[in-house]
């Protein structure tokens, strides 16, 4: 017999659906069971008070960040549950285009993809500030377009902030969003959404003009009210200069340990991919572990040793 949910649980789920439906026009299905004591998806980490954007911003005082900020990407509820207690920020990055959807770049990523994954990550976390990337084409047209897209993302996901790419060109938009209740994380240096302009993913800041632009972009974002700035793929001296030039925390990826925090794509640092950019440290070999485990499973299925008695139901005697 397949175990069935209790009547009470069904009634509770139905009640939740009734309550949630008017807030979210399209309720999303979840494979998690609802924990009726906490109303959170199971299994849950120990509840903690969620960090806030002002507290993240305040970690850099008078140009000094005593304890660097820890950020990782997260795209799913379960991944968020596993990362949450260790991180200050979870970034629902548009890198999900390549990592989850197998797309060639972040260009085809849509607002709906970001909204769906952002909502899952918020459901799976208690502690970290969740930041959702604004995808290419959803904010560059005008500050009003940016507000419409960013407010949609915050409403759909429950995230606390958005991230967008670009410096001086985006400063007016950042100011517009921030003054209307939407905290913004900036992103300078190698900005993957601009791959067609940049011509690839090489490190930035090697020429004087590139270096000056990275620093002035970050300063413009700082003045516009960004609460933190990602510095990606920038030669170390320029990453350090940029970090010193701004009052808000910088978060490095392929930048410098002197940044005010660090971010990596979680799948990269866990070793889900054999080939990773030079700046990634592979902390483990999850791809190898999956390969070995699945080979064992396949062998056991083929030899009929799985399922064994332990994993099969027998009639009650
Ligand atoms: O999309 C992403 O994952 C990012 C990080 C690499 C900073 O923007």
**pLDDT tens, 202-246?**
999 999 999 999 999 999 999 999 999 999 999 999 999 999 999
Q: How far is the CA of 93 from the centre of ligand 1 (A)?
A: 5
Res. 43: pLDDT tops 70: no
Q: How far is the C-alpha of 185 from the C-alpha of 163, rounded, in Å?
A: 4
232 is catalytic: yes
The yes-or-no verdict on residue 249 having pLDDT over 60 is yes
- Point out the ligand 1 atom lying closest to the alpha carbon of residue 165: 8
CA of residue 190 to ligand 1 center, whole Å: 10
pTM for the predicted model, two decimal places: 0.86
Supply the residue whose CA is at minimum distance from atom 2 of ligand 1. Answer: 93
Burial 38-48 (b: 16+ CB within 10 A, else e): eebbeeebeee
99-126 tens-digit pLDDT:
999 999 999 999 999 999 999 999 999 9
Long-range own/partner contacts, residues 222-226 (CB < 8 A, 24 or more apart):
222/246, 222/247, 222/248, 223/171, 224/170, 224/171, 224/172, 224/174, 224/175, 224/178, 225/174, 225/175, 225/178, 225/179, 225/184, 226/174, 226/178, 226/184, 226/185, 226/186
Ligand 1 and 268: CB distance under 6 A: no
Query: Are residues 116 and 160 in contact, defined by beta-carbon separation less than 8 angstroms?
Result: no
Give the integer Cα–Cα distance in Å for 72 and 251: 11
Per the residue annotation, which of 232, 267, 309, 310 is the catalytic one?
232
Q: Are 87 and 129 in contact (CB under 8 A)?
A: no
């Amino acid at each position: 017999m397949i175990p069935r949910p209790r009547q009470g649980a069904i009634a509770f789920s139905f009640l939740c659906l009734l309550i949630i439906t008017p807030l979210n026009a399209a309720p999303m299905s979840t494979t998690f069971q609802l924990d009726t004591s906490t109303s959170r998806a199971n299994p849950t980490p120990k509840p903690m008070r969620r960090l806030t954007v002002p507290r993240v911003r305040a970690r850099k005082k008078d140009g000094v960040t005593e304890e660097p900020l820890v950020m990782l990407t997260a795209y799913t509820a379960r991944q968020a549950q596993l990362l949450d207690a260790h991180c200050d920020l979870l970034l629902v990055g548009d890198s999900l285009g390549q990592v989850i959807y197998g797309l060639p770049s972040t260009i085809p990523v849509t607002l709906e993809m970001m909204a769906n994954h952002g909502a899952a990550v918020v459901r799976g976390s208690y502690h970290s500030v969740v930041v959702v990337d604004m995808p290419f084409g959803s904010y560059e047209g005008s500050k009003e377009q940016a507000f419409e897209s960013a407010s949609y993302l915050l409403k759909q996901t429950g995230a606390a902030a958005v991230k967008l790419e670009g410096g001086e060109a985006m400063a007016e938009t950042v100011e517009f969003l921030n003054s209307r209740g939407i905290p913004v994380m900036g992103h300078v240096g190698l900005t993957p959404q601009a791959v067609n302009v940049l011509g690839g993913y090489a490190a930035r800041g090697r020429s004087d003009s590139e270096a000056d632009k990275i620093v002035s972009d970050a300063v413009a974002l700082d003045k516009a009210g960004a609460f933190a700035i990602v510095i990606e793929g920038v030669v170390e001296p320029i990453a350090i200069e940029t970090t010193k030039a701004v009052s808000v925390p910088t978060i490095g990826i392929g930048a410098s340990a002197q940044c005010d925090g660090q971010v990596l794509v979680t799948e990269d640092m866990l070793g889900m991919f054999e080939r990773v950019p030079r700046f990634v440290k592979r902390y483990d070999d999850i791809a190898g572990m999956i390969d070995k485990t699945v080979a064992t499973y396949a062998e056991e299925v083929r030899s009929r040793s799985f399922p064994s008695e332990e994993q099969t139901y027998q009639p009650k005697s």
